[in-house]
Chain A
């Protein structure tokens, strides 16, 4: 596509301003720079325009304009994504949903809320908290990330072990289709009519259209919560404890694992009470009825002890519980203490393969002359190996990329997946053939055509393309502006 001429750009800017208003269009390269990447700074691309609509009609009009001009467009929330999913193609329009951030309606009788896509995840739980409700998906970036972004990536979080990921909590969406038509997929009721369009839309990474209203389920806050910390001298013992918990018929709300390197970084940074000499720690959380909570806690403690835990304790009060969770949730920020840069990986494996895969991950990273920190959702086998490196050392970045690809291949080989919650975006398009055949990918492409026949809605994502690697070229990690402000952490 030929770049827009300056004259044409000025004309289009005026037209966009006529749609969304003065002060809601950016086209100055300095301002556009903020929108050139998401939380994965390896990939960058500049749009021609960033627009800030406040209604679905605005979004539809912008999309129709893009359609007419044959310009690519992409929706963007808080930009906390970790796979480059909301990056513009070179040129085109970024549609920021950050000004569509209202809770439109809360219906406690039916335990649903209708929200706009730019609403920050945690703000919904704040809004309904006083009535005893919350929104279950809890990605670690939940202080900053938006529900629209959660929908695009089908985001998870620690507590999805028991409560499911975003799709399990979305009933319906008002969507601006890639041709500008406004359509409801699903609705307010628990069951939709016909194909589960809302179900396939969630997780389609912005390639099926732009959600402008989202109907979500609200859950009642549990009566009781109990958090257990188990400390291990060997990482295999911690892996075995995960299986032991499951073998005892328990369904904890969360089972998180933190390895030694990560514990030390966290303790250096925040001092959350994890023993620095431990090889690994498990954070296990139970929630539900007050009755029976003690019995279940004892079962967890036994499962950890029988697997060789040297210490198991329960958080005495909410303060200690919050501190333990702070350690877990700020682990990514803490890596800054031990390494100038790191690359976060996101893979999933069958839980029973944990001991094997963790040791293989360590071998792979060591063989590339690098170090790795692990902090992840052990309960559902969702790994986050974080490869530490120094971008100033020539060749180190390339070794990180190689090690990362080898880890993804390993996840695929043991029957797992190349993404549990971060999405494919741009980052992993070339890994898709690790787990999907040509026929699988062709079928998905056809599904995409049914929603997005021109391909102009978020082009270049998810599917392998010949030009996908190399062109942008890996660029050194540097903290994203929102990370620097402490609004988001790598997860």
Chain B
């Protein structure tokens, strides 16, 4: 247990928690929750802290419940292509344990050395390979949680196909610690492909890159990743001063080679340069490209739109920022329609007005395209003007009912998430 100055690493948005505790077992987690529940102290689960600042700012410091001591690989049966681990196990540690058996968890969130399994599931974090392999929702087959009332609940199971009872794993993916403390998870695995290659194709304009991405989507190619970077993000990764598509292929060496060749043919009509191979170290840097484009971004937003509208969204969003004297950097998982945008003020102005105005405009763009947009990070002054989460409408009322039923004491990250849950 940590108190006072030791709490430094757990300060979020200037708010210091009342204490941080690090239980070592599921029973200890339950004990902590029971104490917190009876004292009415809010509890925030903490894995690697990579998404700790995501969400509506909390009204009260509360208790940080760290999972760092619960970091064991419980079970890995290679023949079953499944693994069970405690929630505090990091993604990197899991991948290296699995790799010894030629397997991997096909999920590649940013900061794998810090990000934990439980945290990645709670925040629904993913990376470029989601294009082919999906997200936590497609890979999580079992979950054990401690509820806000101290009950230990298991959902799903340890087998890859299972329809017994409600699909609780789906409920916990992306629930940001508001429905239960994830303490143990079981995931589906895949064999490590024989070969993998990441290539970049440069384009004159974002629009051309978007059209090329659609051509790839409609082709026989089976890329593992299909990211679109605008000029700013591209430059931040050292890929040159123009927009680019960054595309991953895996499989047998002959499949990878054939797809790279075919890609060259597919992108040429859109003015795409011939594909250049990137170092594998580039993979984990892709997600962070927009934020790396500027020394100190003013805000980060994540937009979800229909995949075919990605390029248009980037162009509109860039203009919206420019009109207010701001600049932006964009990256997108072009095949799934998920974008990340960073906003920056070249004149170092920090008044929240214009920033909030651009973010609100980006949000209405996403909504007009049938999607939504959430703030990933912004200063408190900006968060005060732009709600972190988009409006979930009627579905938000169901979310609120779920929260009220499953966490009746309202002590798990209260008010942090969508619809005030």
Q: Is the Cβ of B402 less than 8 Å from the Cβ of A251? A: no
A188 to B218, CA, bound (A): 18
Contact partners of A204 in chain B: CB under 8 A: 166-167
Q: Which of B134-192 contact A (CB under 8 A)?
A: 134-135, 137-138, 147, 151-155, 157-168, 170-171, 173-175, 179, 190-192
Within 8 A of A (CB), among B173-220: 173-175, 179, 190-194, 214, 217-218, 220
Is B20 interfacial (CB 8 A cutoff)? no
Q: Are B418 and A193 neighbours in the complex by a CB distance under 8 Å?
A: yes
Asked if B80 and A351 sit within 8 Å, CB to CB, the answer is: yes
Q: Do B418 and A153 touch (CB < 8 A)? A: no
**In the assembled complex, which residues on chain A have CB atoms less than 8 Å from the CB atom of B159?**
348-350, 380-381, 415-417, 420
Q: How many A-B residue pairs lie within 8 Å, measured between CB atoms?
A: 252
- The smallest C-beta distance from A36 to any residue of chain B, in angstroms, reads 24
Find A424's partner among B164, B192, B338 (CB 8 Å cutoff).
B164
Residue pair A446, B406 in contact (C-beta under 8 Å): yes
Taking the closest CB of chain B, its distance from the CB of A471, in whole angstroms, is: 22
Residues in chain A near residue B78, CB distance under 8 A: 247
How many angstroms between the C-alpha atoms of A256 and B291 in the bound complex? Answer: 47
Given the complex, which residues of B lie within 8 Å of A250, measured CB to CB?
191
> Is B290 part of the contact surface with A, judged by Cβ < 8 Å?
no
Q: How many residues on chain A are close to B (CB under 8 Å)?
A: 84
Residues of A402-430 at the interface with B, using a CB-CB cut-off of 8 Å, are 415-424, 428
- Contact call B164/A189, Cβ cutoff below 8 A: no
The verdict on A6 contacting chain B, using a C-beta distance below 8 Å, is no
Nearest Cβ in chain B — how far from A112, in angstroms? 8
Q: From residue 87 to 117 of chain A, which have CB atoms closer than 8 A to chain B?
A: 107-111
Give the contact stretch, choosing among A8-16, A40-48, A59-67, A289-297. A289-297
Contacts of A351 in B (CB 8 A): 79-81
Compute how far the CA of A154 lies from the CA of B166 in the bound complex, rounded to whole angstroms.
10
Is B398 on the interface with A (CB-CB < 8 A)? yes
Quick check: is B306 within 8 A (CB to CB) of the other chain? Answer: yes
B5 near A: Cβ within 8 Å? no
Whether the pair B166, A203 counts as a contact (CB closer than 8 A) is yes
Q: Are A295's CB and B372's CB within 8 A?
A: no
A166-208, CB < 8 A from B? 167-168, 177, 181, 183-185, 187-191, 193-197, 199-200, 202-204
Closest to B338 in A: A191
Contact B157 A416 (CB under 8 A): yes
Question: Which residues on the A side are within 8 Å of B10 (C-beta)?
Answer: none
A450 & B389 in contact (Cβ 8 Å cutoff): no
A196-B174 in contact (CB<8A): yes
Is the pair A247, B79 in contact by a Cβ cutoff of 8 Å? yes
Interface presence of A246 (CB below 8 A): yes
Residues of B within 8 A of A190 (CB): 304, 307, 336-338
Q: Which of A154, A195, A415 has the most C-beta atoms of chain B within 10 angstroms of its own C-beta? A: A195
Task: Indicate if A165 sits at the interface (CB-CB under 8 A).
Answer: yes
Chain B residues positioned under 8 Å from A381 (CB to CB): 80, 159-161
Residue contact B389 to A447, C-beta cutoff 8 Å: no
Q: A195-B418, A351-B80 are contacts. A443–B167 as well, Cβ < 8 Å?
A: no
| Chain B residues within CB distance 8 Å of chain A | 77-82, 102, 124, 134-135, 137-138, 147, 151-155, 157-168, 170-171, 173-175, 179, 190-194, 214, 217-218, 220, 222, 251-252, 254-255, 258-259, 304-308, 336-338, 370-372, 374, 389-390, 392-396, 398-399, 401-402, 404-406, 417-419, 421
13 contacts between A and B (CB under 8 A): A111-B217, A190-B304, A200-B168, A202-B167, A204-B167, A380-B159, A380-B161, A381-B80, A435-B165, A437-B153, A439-B153, A446-B406, A450-B405
A-B CB proximity, top 3 nearest: A199-B170, A194-B418, A249-B191
